Structure 1
Amino acid sequence: MSDVLTRQALWAAAHAERAALADDLAALDTTQWAQRSLCGRWTVEEVVAHLTAAASVGPLRWTASVLGARFDFDLHNDRRLAEHRGATPDETLERFRRVVGSTTSTFGPTEAWLGEVVVHAQDIRRPLGIERTPSIEAVTPVARFYARRDFTVAGRSTIDGLRVEAIDGPFATGAGPLVSGTTLALTMVMAGRGVYCDDLTGPGVSTLRERCASA
């Protein structure tokens, strides 16, 4: 895999991950749609609506929405989620399918918006027991992006002072007590999903647990 993917390749990966998630969602029943996700207070259906909103709102509309919410980002997200949620889970899924190939996004690098799909897909899959691992080609640029800076998630702060190494791909960074695991598990922990610490090994895992718990 090339160390640096083009913007086109990153969007192609995002589209593939959206399509895979839509396929996973197709067989859900009403109870599963109402299942609590790993994403705070949101249910599975609400996370899907959030993903639809993220692929539908460009910079100008995003700015207007944030200003309208007086920089209350929870309120901003809830309003856009409600806008893109359907009257039924089937309609919510249909709306999501319509944006599978979208390249609409707000500010920031494309890696951030690929990460939006990768992380939220696992926010949905893990509680539902759906086992699917995104491709290394999709997850590695997200892991590298999260490790470099605190942007949409506090990735760099989470792994500060640790040596982090993937066991299934080229991602590795930092110095300090070792933490190893799959690229996906490392990415999810950098995104603040502490449950994925269970999938990691090494003397630095306890530090990650503490940081995720206090986030």
Structure 2
Amino acid sequence: MPFRRSAPVWPAVHSERRALIRDLETLAPELWAQPSLCPGWDIHDVVAHLVDSAKTTRLSFLRGLIAAKFDFDKQNANGIARARGATPEATLAEFRRIRDETKTPPAAPATRLVEAIVHGEDIRRPLGILHSYPGASVDAALRYQLKTGVSMGGGKERAAGFRLQASDTGLEHGSGPVVRGSSLVLLLAVSGRPVAEEEFSGAGAAMFVRKLNQTS
């Protein structure tokens, strides 16, 4: 079902932060060094990024961007270095402390939901951790990514030329060869995360995966 306009984003974000914290609490310390789905980032880095992002205001984002000379990758790296604790336990403790924050950089609130879900999977998928996300939340994040360009962190161009169909929520978008998958898998795909061809079906599945591999 679609995510209603009146449905607030922040309770969904806070719920996902709490769920991820519960998963991280059972993680052996050595697994925090395992690579995530984000190239060059391990699990600890992703958690540190989530901590830094949750503490970032519009003003501090602009200050950080200026300090990084408008290099977004450098800004992210600076944020990770700032938020990453000396141990996984220290970083997790800070994540617990800020889990209910409602701060945000100068972006739509929906970006916080995209971040909570996509980065949650950046951590869970490599570790083999399964998590059930509310369909309305995933659909809201997917809709945002589908209308936002890649240069702004979205996935509009990745989806262009295909008819995406969410097999679990009924969301449909675009025109062209049909690509069917769960709303979560479609969200990860258009967000530039690696997704196996077997997770899709439909006449356009193979072509869609080839496009993703060329553009991600």
TM-score by length of 2: 0.94
Corresponding residue of 2:212: 212
Q: Which stretches in structure 1 are left out of the alignment for 5+ residues?
A: none
Residue identity matched to 1:212: L
* 2:125 counterpart of 1:126: yes
Q: SS at the partner of 1:5?
A: coil
Shift of 1:206: 2.2
Distance 2:51 2:198 in 1: 30
Between the aligned residues of both structures, percent identity stands at 35
Distance 1:104 1:210 in 2: 37
Distance 1:197 1:117 in 2: 24
Q: SS at the partner of 2:195?
A: helix
* 2:122 counterpart of 1:159: no
* 2:187 counterpart of 1:191: no
Corresponding residue of 1:169: 169
Distance 2:106 2:170 in 1: 28
Residue identity matched to 2:46: V
Question: Does the 8 Å CA contact 2:49/2:76 hold for their aligned counterparts?
Answer: yes
Shift of 1:208: 2.4
Corresponding residue of 1:181: 181
Distance 1:63 1:73 in 2: 11
Greater shift, 117-126 or 164-173, is seen at: 164-173
Greater shift, 187-196 or 74-83, is seen at: 187-196
Distance 2:51 2:88 in 1: 13
How is 1:29-178 mapped onto 2 (pairs within 5 angstroms)? Answer: 29-150=28-149, 152-178=152-178
Shift of 1:197: 4.0
Q: Which stretches in structure 2 are left out of the alignment for 5+ residues?
A: none
- Shift in alpha-carbon separation, 1:176–1:2, aligned structure 2, 3 A: closer
Moved over 6 A (4+): none
Q: SS at the partner of 2:8?
A: helix
Shift of 1:134: 1.0
TM-score by length of 1: 0.94
Shift of 1:3: 4.5
Aligned CA RMSD, in angstroms, stands at: 1.5
Question: Does the 8 Å CA contact 2:178/2:204 hold for their aligned counterparts?
Answer: yes
